[in-house]
Amino acid sequence: MSNINKPNKFLPTTKEEMKQRGWDELDVVLITGDAYIDSPFMGIAVVGRILEDIGLRVGIIGQPDVNSDVDIKRMGEPKLFWGVSGGSIDSMVSNYTATKKFRNSDDYTPGGKNNKRPDRATLVYTNLIRRYFKNTVPIVLGGIEASLRRLTHYDYWTNKLRKPILFDTKADYMVYGMGEQAIIDLGNYLKEGKDPRSIRGLCYISKEPVEEYLRIPSHQECLDDKEKYIDLFKAFYDNNDPVYSKGLYQEVDGRYLIQNPPSRHMEEEEMDKIASFPYQRDAHPYNAKDGKVKCLETIKFSIMTHHGCWGECNFCAIAAHQGRTIRTRSEKNILAEAKHFTTMRDFKGIISDVGGPTANMYGYECKKKINLGTCVDNKRCVDAHRLCRTMKVDHSRNIQLLKDIRAVPGIKKAFVASGVRYDLITADKKYGKEYLKEMIDHHISGQMKVAPEHTNDEVLHHMGKPGKQTLVDFKKMYDDLNKESGKKQFLTYYLIAAHPGCEEKHMHELKQFTTHELKMNPEQAQVFTPTPGTYSAVMYYTEMDPFTKKKIFVEKDQRRKERQKEIVVAKNAFASSNKKKSSSSGMQG
């Protein structure tokens, strides 16, 4: 039974709020690198509501002052455990650009100034707890920063391999991945006084290995041999599916990082329940008094339809963190959320987004994958050449959902701002064109964003992206449907410079393609950032293709990275006059 309209308050963040609930002690204190925003889009809020649902007393501290005890002590020591998250984004990605320049703004900080999120926030917050609470209850890490750093990992900002984050932080446990079931199990185990080390989806440090688990290369082996690090990453990546994955153990300085098998995925009814918790969909007044939180402009009136993505772009960490199997909410539950928006005082009739990691993966999955788990041995649902024949792309359920949302009284517009895979639209011969027409007519305004990232086949191969002909076919379909609908809407393109395997000559090819085939001059592109938990970061560090272990070119000079970007965004005169010069310089370094 949905409780989506049930009135409630924020989880407490002060002693006064605890007293209002009649609490003199908390079971769990959650700490995050973001302001406390009570939204289904904020992991810490979801965890808090899940723990509340199983009967625990939970408080949340957003962006604590790390130079004093004022924030960390303000609700006292919890009875069961501390939960620590770096926030919705890895703190190093949040704080620095791809060329390692400090970012002045932060969309998750009140007022927008980047002055409250420390570098390596998970480590800093864990140390903050230890500083003021000696011999305290267990500290449990979670969130994307910890999840993707759970084993030996390449850290771009120090340009070296770092130990598993549990060793750096000296925390007790880590819940990895989305962690819904794992956090339920952890809360219940600790409440009952049981040892949590058998919980799926949990990592911990041990003096002994778990012999039935899979041994992966030690931290020292990875430091000594880049090919061993590739082997470790492959084991990390391949053992994220709850159907068949094994537990892992890694030796680090005489002790062992133990990664239990992944937690099971949520079923549709459970997804609905979690989405229906009484989120306040706003920043807590304690944080909001310091200014507006910019991310609320996009997430406050947005709807998350599903979790997971099987696109497997090599530069993206979603597959390793959320998983490669789509888990959907029911249409009934999604529509209840849309109707709830219309009861909120500040809702103007506009839903900012209806989607997920990839918007048009809602409503279908490979039956073989559901029963047996994701394929292994580098076999992917979609790659640069084709879509797997067993993945039956079907936009029909998504089309009907969008129509039903539009029909809700009080909804004026429901945008689809999440990423859309254009190759899935062209692959769906039955419903793809109808879906795109639905988008063009009702769910975009003026432009539609797509992410080809590049157009050179070699670079696309290293990125794990579809070939350029698919983009050409999609653009024609898009232009034809716009003409048919009497609209003048455009495509805008996400492009990446300096990805492993990309030289300046490839950026010139991209420039020529955008000019002559796409008939446009790109205004923006981003320089590639090697983030933990991605195959592309492995390529960057090792300078090898991790699937073949053959050497590839990797641009590591920051000035030349910027130059790759400038080639594609510059006016045509610049590109052509500098083509010969920069093409030769791309072979250096």
Q: CA 147 to CA 149: how far, in whole Å?
A: 6
15-207 — its CATH code? Answer: 3.40.50.280
pLDDT at 1: 37
From 3.30.750.210, 3.40.50.720, 1.10.10.10, 3.20.20.70, which CATH number describes the 301-445 domain? Answer: 3.30.750.210
- 189-214 pLDDT, tens per residue? 999 999 999 999 999 999 999 999 99
Q: CA 463 to CA 451: how far, in whole Å?
A: 12
Strand partners of residue 81 = 28
One-letter amino acid at 18 equals M
Q: CA 535 to CA 547: how far, in whole Å?
A: 9
Determine phi and psi for 328, rounding to 5 degrees: -110, 155
pLDDT at 384: 65
Neighbours of 113 (CB within 10 A): 12
For Cα atoms 98, 99, 104, give the angle at the middle one, nearest 5 degrees: 80
From 3.30.750.200, 3.30.420.40, 3.50.50.60, 1.10.3720.10, which CATH number describes the 449-589 domain? Answer: 3.30.750.200
366 is in an annotated binding site: no
pTM: 0.93
Which two structure tokens, joined as six digits, stand for 429? 């011969």
Domain locations in the chain as residue ranges: 15-207, 301-445, 449-589
Tell me the residue ranges of DSSP E strands in 253-374: 255-259, 282-283, 302-304, 306-307, 327-328, 350-351, 353-355
Which two structure tokens, joined as six digits, stand for 197? 């080390």
For Cα atoms 101, 538, 561, give the angle at the middle one, nearest 5 degrees: 35
Question: Does residue 507 come out as left (phi exceeding 0), alpha (psi in the -120 to 50 range) or beta?
Answer: alpha
For Cα atoms 12, 14, 16, give the angle at the middle one, nearest 5 degrees: 95
In three-state form (DSSP H/G/I as H, E/B as E, the rest C), the secondary structure along 91-133 is: HHHHHECCCCCECCECCCCCCCECCCCCCCHHHHHHHHHHHHC
- Cα-Cα-Cα-Cα dihedral of 113, 114, 116, 120, to 10°? 170
- How far from 58 is each of 3, 93, 144, 157, 496, CA to CA, in Å? 19, 28, 21, 34, 41
Tens of each residue's pLDDT in the chain, 589 residues = 344 444 449 999 999 999 999 999 999 999 999 999 999 999 999 999 999 999 999 999 999 999 999 999 999 999 999 999 999 999 999 999 999 999 999 999 999 999 999 999 999 999 999 999 999 999 999 999 999 999 999 999 999 999 999 999 999 999 999 999 999 999 999 999 999 999 999 999 999 999 999 999 999 999 999 999 999 999 999 999 999 999 999 999 999 999 999 999 999 999 999 999 999 999 999 999 999 999 999 999 999 999 999 999 999 999 999 999 999 999 999 999 999 999 999 999 999 999 999 999 999 999 889 988 998 776 888 876 678 888 999 999 999 999 999 999 999 999 999 999 999 999 999 999 999 999 999 999 999 999 999 999 999 999 999 999 999 999 999 999 999 999 999 999 999 999 999 999 999 999 999 999 998 888 889 999 999 999 999 999 999 999 999 999 999 999 999 999 999 998 764 444 444 444 333 333 3
Cβ–Cβ under 8 Å, residues 337 and 401: no
Cβ–Cβ under 8 Å, residues 137 and 161: no
pLDDT at 313: 93
Q: What percent of the chain has pLDDT over 90?
A: 89
pLDDT at 232: 98
Which two structure tokens, joined as six digits, stand for 465? 């992206």
pLDDT at 521: 87
313 is in an annotated binding site: yes
Tell me the residue ranges of DSSP E strands in 329-464: 350-351, 353-355, 413-414, 447-453
Q: CA 295 to CA 404: how far, in whole Å?
A: 27
309 is in an annotated binding site: yes
pLDDT at 574: 41
Q: CA 334 to CA 354: how far, in whole Å?
A: 9
Q: Decide if 15-207 and 301-445 have a common fold.
A: no
